[in-house]
Amino acid sequence: MSEHLSLILPYILLATGAGILGGVIASFWNPNAKARSAIQHFAAGAVLAAVATSVIPEAERIGTIAGILSGFAAGGLAMIALKWVVVRAERRKKGGHQLPVGLAAAAIVDTLIDGVLISAGFATGQQLGILLVIALSIELLFLTLSVGVEFRKSQLKLWQKLLATSGIAFMLLVGAVSASFLLADVSESTLAIVLSFGAAALIYLIAEELLVETIEAEKSLFPTATLFSGFLVLLALKLFS
């Protein structure tokens, strides 16, 4: 086991555990619109803070302009392609398919990228890595909770639903471990490209998965307050660390 992997593994296992916990919670709790909206907004605020205060500034510090812009553009194009796949899958679901295949596929890709991003974050510095673990643990907890709630509508058995959500959480470990080998001894400019790609993926997560549904469904002030609360928590951790 490499030194980098031994450093990040405990953090990755904690974040993976948060994802597994989300699936377990979904097996017995179906949050109402207000609770779901509050959780989504808090997670969005935390992820937004990680991108704004840590990921982009670190990429700017260690990377080149061309690398940062190309990495972000590539991430944006990849997320557009992912959205296209999800939309097609959801259309098939409306035609009679009961399993949330599109949502699950998007969650798998998102979580895999999250794992790569955490590994790249630790490669640039422990502070960034830990902040990403905190933010993405919150995000993964909600993500598997959402997928688990959707799977409750299917005819799958409980163990199959838990296996599906746990499998999504496990993708974080797969992404992080793979990146720890693939990114070993790469230059800082390459790490900046990876961070920029990951930043685009996180912005997609915020805009297309965490906020769209709740903005349309929930008009109260509390979810908006949780958005800023999530940002504030991560910002405070950044400032005091």
For residues 47-86, b (16+ Cβ closer than 10 Å) or e, as one string?
Answer: bbbbbebbbbebbeebbeeebbeebbeebbebbeebeeeb
Instruction: Evaluate if residue 175 carries a pLDDT over 80.
Output: yes
Residue-level length of the chain:
241
More confident residue, 99 or 200: 200
User: What is d(CA 31, CA 12) in angstroms, rounded to the nearest whole number?
Assistant: 27
The pLDDT of residue 16 is: 97
**Cα 226 → chain centroid:** 18
Instruction: Give the model confidence (pLDDT) of 114-166 as tens digits.
Output: 999 999 999 999 999 999 999 999 999 989 998 898 888 777 888 888 999 99
Rounded to a whole number of angstroms, the CA Rg of the chain reads 17
pLDDT confidence band for 103 (50 / 70 / 90)? confident
User: What is d(CA 115, CA 110) in angstroms, rounded to the nearest whole number?
Assistant: 9
